[in-house]
Amino acid sequence: MTRRIAVLPGDGVGPEVTAEAVQILEAVPGLSLEYEEMSVGAGEYLQSGSPLPDATFERLKEFEAVLLGAMGLPGVRWPSGIEMTPQIDLRERLDLYCGLRPIRLYHESHSPLKGVRAGSIDLMLVRENTEGLFVSRLEPLERRAEFAEDRMRISRKGAERVCRSAFEQARQRRGRVALVDKANVLPSMAYFRMVFDEVSAGYPEVETERIYVDAMALYLVQCPQRFDVLVTENMFGDILSDLAAGLVGGMGMAPSADIGVRYGVFQPSHGSAPDIAGRGLANPVATILSAAMMLDWLGGETEKEGAARIRRGVERVLSEEGTGTRDLGGRMSTKELGRAIREAVQ
Ligand code: ATP
C-alpha cells in the first residue's frame, strides 16, 4: 500500500535535514511512499503573507502523515515581536496533544557527562502539546504598559489523555513513568498531579514517581539513566527536552512525534538553527529518527520493519568513533552523514 506523506521542509536547516530523511526513506526496501512538498514557515510568510496558508493547511490534512523540517527565523516576526511558529499552530489546529520526544545516547563521546555508556540514557519525554503555559498564545491577555501575564491551563481532558499516552509508552518500554510538575506551588500543577494519580490507577503494573520540575532538571544531569518515561506540561516539556537533548549530543540528536487522534506530525525537536543554516553543518539524525517514528506510527509490517532498519542504521553508523557532524565531534557534512546512514539502511 502506498502511504502519502506531506513534506514541509520549512526554514533554516529544515530543507537540508529533510532532504536526507526523505532519501533514507526512499532507500528502505519494500516501502512505498508518495511525497508532496509544501511551503510553510517564515519563508512562506515573506512570499504570501501567511506562514501557513489556509489552502496548504487544508491540503496537508489529506495526507496520512506530515514530515516537517524546522520553522521560524529570528528576523521574521509578527508585529507583536513573536516569531512565526506554524509548527506550533499545527499542533494546536490538528489537536496533536501528545509530543513524544525520545532521548537516546548513541555514543559515549556525544555526552558531556562522564562515564555514560551508549544506550544507558534511553528515555521518552511525553510533552503535553496543546495547553499548559502555551495557552496564552491563543488567548493573549491585554498587554498593558505596567505588566504582561501568561496563563497556565491544565484541563481534565488534556491531562488525562497525555497521562494515558505516557502510561501506554511505559507499557511498551521499561514500565516506569515519572510525572514532572510543580505541584508544591501552582494549583494547575496540583490538578495535573491529581489527574495523573487517577490515570495511574488504571495501570497498576507501571511504577510511578512524582518529581518537581526543578529537581528533575538536577536529576537529568546527575543520573539520566534512572528514567524511562517522563510526562509533563507544555512549557516544562519544551525546556526539559532541550536539556535532555544536551545529554546525548544536542538538538541534532533529538527526534519528535506530535500525535493526535487522527493526525501525526514528525519533526526534529530543534528549530531552524539559523546560525548554521546553509553550511552543510546540520546534523540530520534527529530528522531521520523522526521519519522512523513516522513509519512506526503509520503502522504496517513493512513500515515497522523500515523504522527498525533506520534505527539500526543510525546506531551502526554512530557507533564508530569520530563519525558524525561537527556537533558530535565529527567532520562529516550533513550530506555525508546522511549518505552513510542511507548505505547502512539499504
Ligand atoms: P526553537 O525555539 O524554534 O526550537 P531554538 O531557539 O531552541 O529553536 P535551535 O534552532 O533549535 O534553537 O538551535 C539551538 C542550538 O542547537 C543552536 O546552536 C543550533 O545551531 C543547534 N542545532 C539545532 N539544530 C541542529 C542540528 N540539526 N545540527 C546541529 N546543531 C543544531
Rg over alpha carbons for the chain, rounded to the nearest Å, is: 20
Beta bridge partners of 178: 209, 230
Query: Who wins on pLDDT, 168 or 80?
Result: 168
For residues 3-17, average pLDDT: 97
Under DSSP, is residue 165 helix (H, G, I), strand (E, B) or coil?
helix
Q: What is the CA(239)–ligand 1 centre distance, in A?
A: 13
> What grid cell was written down for 310?
533506520
Residue owning the nearest CA to atom 6 of ligand 1: 271
Q: Which residue would you say has higher pLDDT here, 322 or 99?
A: 99
β-strand pairing of 229-232 with 122-128: parallel
CATH architecture of 1-101+250-346: 3-Layer(aba) Sandwich (3.40)
Q: Are 131 and 151 in contact (CB under 8 A)?
A: no
What does each C-alpha distance from 120 to 111, 166, 186, 227, 293 come to in angstroms?
11, 20, 33, 10, 20
Per-residue pLDDT at 143: 67
pLDDT of residue 321: 86
The confidence band for 149, taking pLDDT boundaries of 50, 70 and 90, is confident
Q: Does residue 141 register a pLDDT over 70?
A: no
pTM (predicted TM-score): 0.95
Topology agreement, domain 1-101+250-346 and domain 122-140+149-246: no
Q: What is the pLDDT of residue 33?
A: 96
> In terms of CATH architecture, what is 122-140+149-246?
3-Layer(aba) Sandwich (3.40)
pLDDT tens column, 61-118: 999 999 999 999 999 999 888 899 999 899 989 999 999 999 999 999 999 999 999 9
Q: Kindly give the distance from the C-alpha atom of residue 249 to the centroid of ligand 1, in angstroms, as a whole number.
A: 12
Per domain, the residue ranges of the chain are 1-101+250-346, 122-140+149-246
Within 6 A (CB) of ligand 1 lie 13, 17, 72, 250-252, 270-273, 275-276, 282-283, 286, 327
Higher pLDDT, 159 or 139: 159
Rounded to the nearest whole angstrom, what is the distance from the C-alpha of residue 108 to the centroid of ligand 1?
Answer: 21
Measure 31 CA to ligand 1 centroid, in angstroms.
30
Chain mean pLDDT for the chain: 96
Q: Residue 12, by phi and psi: left (phi above 0), alpha (psi -120 to 50) or beta?
A: left
Distance 196 CA to ligand 1 centre (A): 32
**Is the pLDDT reported for residue 216 higher than 70?**
yes
**DSSP-assigned states of every residue in 247-312:** HTTSGGG-EEEEE-SS-EEEEESS---TTTTTTT----HHHHHHHHHHHHHH--HHHHHHHHHHHH
pLDDT in tens, 42-64: 999 999 999 999 999 999 999 99
| CA 13 to ligand 1: nearest atom | 27
Per-residue pLDDT of 252-302, as tens digits, reads 999 999 999 999 999 999 999 999 999 999 999 999 999 999 999 999 999
